[in-house]
Amino acid sequence: MIRRRVAAAVAVAVLAVAGVVVVRWWHERPPFTPDVINASVTVDMLGVGTDGMEGERSYDGVSYLPSPGDAFVGGHLRWTPPPGAATDWEDGWFVLLVIDKRVDLKPPMVIGRSDSSVRVVQGSDGVLNEVAEKYPWLRGAGDVRTGEDTWLGSTTTVMTSPAGGPITFVATFPAQRRETPQPPTYATAPVNRDDLLVALVFIGPDRQVYWAQRLFG
C-alpha cells in the first residue's frame, strides 16, 4: 500500500512538472515567426549638425533639430502585418532597436512615424533588460549599469503593434559635451553606417520576449 502511495505521489509530481513545462512553452510561443512578416530596414546617414545649420530638418516626414556636432541616422522599417493582428497591442508589440556596436549603447533618442492608423510610441521599457540578457548580440538593448545595484536608462526608442504599417525613423547621436554622463549611458557622435546594428524585437502581451531579428549590421 505504501509503495502504491509513493508511486502515485511521484506520478502526480511528474505530471505537475510536465504541466508547468507545457504551460510555459505555450506562454512563450510566439503567434508568428520572423519569416511570416518579412521585415527589412534601410539606413541613411543624414549628416552632422554645423554652426550654420538653423531650424528643423525633415526626413520623409520625421522632423529633427540639428545642433553642432550631432549626427543623425534615418531609416525605413518595413514588414508585412500578420493576418489577424490586433491594432491595440493585445497581441504584443514591436520594438525597433538602433545600437552602436562599438560601445553597445543606444542613442538617447529615436523618433518615428507611420502613415498607418496604428499608434507609434517613443519611449523605453524595462523588458529590454531581459532582451539584453537573452540575446548576447543585443547587449546594448537594456539599461546601463552604473554601480553594483544601480542601473540607468536614458534612451528612448520606437514601439508599435505588429498590425501597423511601415515606420520612418530618425536616431540622434549627440556630440560629446561637458554634460555627457561618465561613464556614458548612451551612444554619441561621431558614428558611421558600419558602426550600427538595427534589430526588431517582438514582445508578448505579458512582457515575454518572443524573438529578436537582426535587420542591419
Q: What is the pLDDT of residue 159?
A: 97
Q: Summarize the confidence of residues 187-216 as an average pLDDT.
A: 97
The C-alpha cell at 80 is 508585412
Domain boundaries, the chain: 1-30, 33-216
The pLDDT tens digits for 79-138 are 999 998 888 888 899 999 999 999 999 999 999 999 998 999 999 998 999 999 999 999
- How do residues 139-178 score in pLDDT, each as one tens digit? 999 988 777 777 677 799 999 999 998 999 999 999 988 7
Spatial neighbors of 160 by CB under 8 A, at least 6 apart, are 93, 94, 112, 114, 118, 119, 120, 121, 167
How many beta carbons lie within 10 A of that of residue 120, not counting itself? 20
Paired residues of 73 in beta bridges = 45, 171
Of the pLDDT bands very low, low, confident and very high (cuts 50, 70, 90), residue 55 is confident
Question: pLDDT value at position 19?
Answer: 45
Separation between Cα atoms, residue 105 and residue 184, nearest integer Å: 9
Cell of 82: 500578420
Report how far apart the first and last C-alpha atoms of the chain are (Å, whole number). 65
Amino acid (one-letter) located at 145: R
